[in-house]
């Protein structure tokens, strides 16, 4: 016999289910419970009599079509960044409680992604600055303010940077000091010239130049009144030399090379290679690692170069 259709309530040990009035064709069944929850014995509310029983459960979908709570690849924290495909992806929250990586933003032409940020490639940028110690000297007003310099006052230095000892580190080389002023120029002189001339060499070290220089012996050559006042020079008066530093013997250390001299030419002088034109040669003072040799080697050169002059300079 059919059960009457009434409004009522079904009470279990822990659940109260309120049933409203229904049509018999729409709801006809009973609800029981077991130890794990409800067990339905309900008629199909959509298919009509004889239809399949519903499972009684539904799945909510999020606004983007995925299942709500389906967070398969969450990122660690909103605002975090990571390298993806040559660009930078950012962790964002679209409001569904599931932070995900955004599409990567590509880095620039000369940039790479490193630790979640676009940076200039290491080979195309400077490293971090370090403090490199320099000694006292140079000019009284500014010290060794440039890689090479000339005096600004009496007693100031002439200096240059050069790997003079061949250890692949630049050394600070003081070649002369200002001893007087002639016109607008300070007149230099190599230390110890003319009896025992030398340069002062502050060797390059890993974190700066040595605090004290070594005396680097040089020959009594160059200019007759001042010596070898610079790394490279030319005559002031007749008899002075042309000189420069060149590693002629290929041992990794620059040698002192005298290539020519000033010769009388009426009221003036003319430059000419040593021994030109019959037996031209250069005078080479070999670098010995702590100074130049006291006696030069004869370095043969061909009978060429400018007419009446020969190869009087190294360049």
- 8 A C-beta contact, residue 282 and residue 274: yes
Give phi and psi for 108, each to the nearest 5: -70, 175
Q: Over 90: is that where the pLDDT of 221 sits?
A: yes
At 76 the pLDDT is: 87
Complete DSSP assignment for 157-186: EEEEEE--SSSSS-EEEEEEEEEEEETTEE
Report residue 65 CA to chain centroid gap.
48
Percent of the chain residues past pLDDT 70, beyond the cut: 77
Mean pLDDT of 154-177: 98
- Return the top range by mean pLDDT from 82-86, 114-118, 182-186, 298-302: 298-302
At 28 the pLDDT is: 43
119-163 pLDDT per residue, tens: 888 776 677 889 999 999 999 999 999 999 999 999 999 999 999
Q: Over 60: is that where the pLDDT of 33 sits?
A: no
Tokens describing residue 129: 């600055």
How far is 126 from 112, CA to CA, in rounded Å? Answer: 15
Tokens describing residue 92: 């964002």
CB neighbourhood size of 10 (10 A)? 13
Tokens describing residue 36: 């794990």
Q: Over 50: is that where the pLDDT of 166 sits?
A: yes
- 8 A C-beta contact, residue 285 and residue 299: no
Average pLDDT, the chain: 82
At 266 the pLDDT is: 87
- 8 A C-beta contact, residue 195 and residue 165: no
**Bridge partners, 91 (sequence order):** 101
Show me where the domains of the chain are located: 1-51, 81-124, 130-230, 232-315
At 232 the pLDDT is: 98
47-72 pLDDT per residue, tens: 444 444 333 333 333 334 444 456 77
* Burial class of residue 156, CB neighbours in 10 A (0-12, 13-18, 19+): buried
Percent of the chain residues past pLDDT 90, beyond the cut: 62
At 315 the pLDDT is: 86
How far is 165 from 288, CA to CA, in rounded Å? Answer: 8
Nearest Cα to Cα of residue 210 among 158, 289, 144, 135: 135
101-113 pLDDT per residue, tens: 999 999 988 888 9
**Confidence band of 27 (pLDDT split at 50, 70, 90):** very low
At 209 the pLDDT is: 98
SS3 100: strand
How far is 138 from 47, CA to CA, in rounded Å? Answer: 102
The more confidently predicted of residues 197 and 124 is 197
Which region among 40-44, 121-125, 284-288 has the lowest average model confidence (pLDDT)? 40-44
Nearest Cα to Cα of residue 170 among 128, 127, 203: 203
**Bridge partners, 40 (sequence order):** 31
CB neighbourhood size of 52 (10 A)? 8
The kind and range of the H/E element at 36 are: none
How far is 189 from 192, CA to CA, in rounded Å? Answer: 8
Q: Over 50: is that where the pLDDT of 24 sits?
A: no
């Amino acid at each position: 016999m059919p059960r009457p259709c009434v409004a009522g309530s079904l009470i279990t040990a822990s659940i109260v289910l309120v049933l409203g009035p229904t049509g018999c064709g729409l709801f006809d069944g009973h609800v029981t419970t077991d130890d794990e929850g409800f067990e339905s014995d309900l008629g199909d509310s959509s298919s009509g009599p004889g239809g399949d029983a519903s499972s009684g459960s539904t799945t909510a979908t999020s606004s983007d079509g995925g299942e709500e709570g389906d967070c398969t690849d969450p990122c660690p924290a909103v605002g975090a960044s990571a390298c993806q495909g040559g660009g930078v992806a950012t962790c964002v929250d679209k409001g569904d409680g599931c932070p995900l990586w955004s599409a990567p933003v590509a880095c620039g032409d000369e940039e790479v992604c490193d630790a979640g940020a676009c940076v200039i490639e290491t080979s195309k940028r400077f490293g971090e600055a370090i403090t490199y110690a320099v000694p006292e000297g140079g000019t009284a007003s500014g010290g060794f303010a440039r890689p090479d310099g000339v005096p600004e006052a009496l007693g100031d230095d002439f200096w240059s940077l050069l790997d003079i000892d061949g250890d692949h580190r630049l050394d600070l080389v003081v070649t002369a000091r200002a001893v007087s002023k002639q016109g607008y120029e300070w007149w230099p002189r190599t230390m110890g010239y003319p009896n025992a001339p030398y340069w002062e060499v502050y060797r390059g070290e890993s974190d700066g130049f040595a605090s004290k220089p070594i005396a680097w012996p040089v020959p009594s050559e160059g200019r007759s009144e001042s010596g070898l006042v610079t790394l490279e020079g030319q005559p002031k008066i007749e008899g002075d030399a042309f000189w420069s530093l060149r590693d002629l013997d290929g041992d990794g250390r620059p040698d002192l090379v005298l290539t020519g001299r000033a010769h009388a030419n009426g009221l003036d002088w003319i430059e000419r290679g040593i021994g030109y034109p019959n037996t031209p040669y250069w005078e080479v003072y070999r670098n010995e690692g702590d100074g130049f040799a006291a006696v030069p080697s004869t370095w043969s050169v061909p009978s060429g170069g400018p007419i009446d002059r020969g190869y009087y300079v190294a360049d």
